[in-house]
Amino acid sequence: MNAAAPLLLFDSGVGGLSVLAEVRKSIPQAPIVYVADNGGYPYGTKSEAEIAARVPALLGRLAERFQPRLIVIACNTASTIALAVVRAALDLPIVGTVPAIKPAALASKTRVIGVLGTQATVRQPYVDRLAVEFAGDCIVLRHGSARLVEIAEAKLRGIAPDLDEVRAELDALLVQAEGERMDQCVLACTHFPLLSDEMHAVAPPGLQFVDSGAGIARRVRFLTQGQPWPETPLPGRAILTHESADMVAIAPSLSQFGLYQISLL
């Protein structure tokens, strides 16, 4: 194993940075290639067929180009639709991001949990299976929000979130039958932990949020145990799939996550 071989994290946009933050805490010396498929963004409003056609092909290209030691699909939408196909096609470890329904169900006292994801994620059979397997005795409420994804993208470009808009998306779970009893809310889109402060600010007392970031970091650490890392850390790289005018606006946020070079695929 080449010590410089990177971990490649992949999302439609900035959402995967919430996963990257956890991975960097766990393996600070890991070389990082972070890929935002801004040319395909947003994923959450696309069809299963569109995601299934785009993501495996793009990851194949990225694997060839960057020779990563491991890929993290830091996107619930892409993972719940395409994880199995990507794993079958590529000969390297692929870590997916799927809704943290299991930890939410373990922590819930009221047995009512919410799943806040993209529209595409919350309708996936993968989520049905997680709910049956790990939360069989819970009421599992779901809401798909495209607006929260946009708000998170804007926040990382310096535009402050409107708390009323964030509250409205959370309310879409709370107003459902038994919603007022919900005590765990799964942030089932990697963009949403980037709005953690805002979510906490508008949440009713006692509601807790759960996401998959720390679990993914543990998994990556386990899968790379014993592998060499560079002695002096390499600067992280951000790769975009599409030329965009707001590359300048996003640069300060990317550097906060250790990504100092931005380039086009």
187 DSSP assignment: E
How far is the C-alpha of 74 from the C-alpha of 95, rounded, in Å?
Answer: 8
- By CB under 6 A, the count of residues binding ligand DGL is 17
Strand partners, 33: 8, 237
Is residue 189 among the annotated active site residues? yes
Query: Which residue in the list 189, 194, 217, 240 is annotated as catalytic?
Result: 189
Q: Shortest CA distance to 119 belongs to which of 42, 208, 193, 210?
A: 42
Helix (H, G, I), strand (E, B) or coil at 189: coil
Is residue 138 among the annotated active site residues? no
Q: Give me the 133-172 binding string for ligand DGL, x by CB under 6 A, dash otherwise.
A: ----------------x-----------------------
Shortest separation between residue 40's beta carbon and ligand DGL, angstroms: 8
Give whichever of 54 and 191 is closer to ligand DGL, judged by the CB atom: 191
Q: Kindly tell me which residue out of 38, 77, 124, 184 binds ligand DGL, with binding defined by CB under 6 A.
A: 77
How far is the C-alpha of 94 from the C-alpha of 62, rounded, in Å?
Answer: 13
Q: Shortest CA distance to 12 belongs to which of 231, 263, 240, 248?
A: 240
The token pair at 49 is 């067929």
Strand partners, 240: 36, 264
**Is 41 an interacting residue with respect to ligand DGL (CB under 6 A)?**
yes
Q: Kindly tell me which residue out of 30, 34, 76, 144 binds ligand DGL, with binding defined by CB under 6 A.
A: 76
Give the CA radius of gyration of the chain.
Answer: 18
Q: Kindly tell me which residue out of 155, 191, 219, 237 binds ligand DGL, with binding defined by CB under 6 A.
A: 191
The residues that are catalytic are: 75, 189
Q: Interface with ligand DGL by CB under 6 A: which residues?
A: 11-13, 15, 41-44, 75-77, 118, 121, 149, 189-191
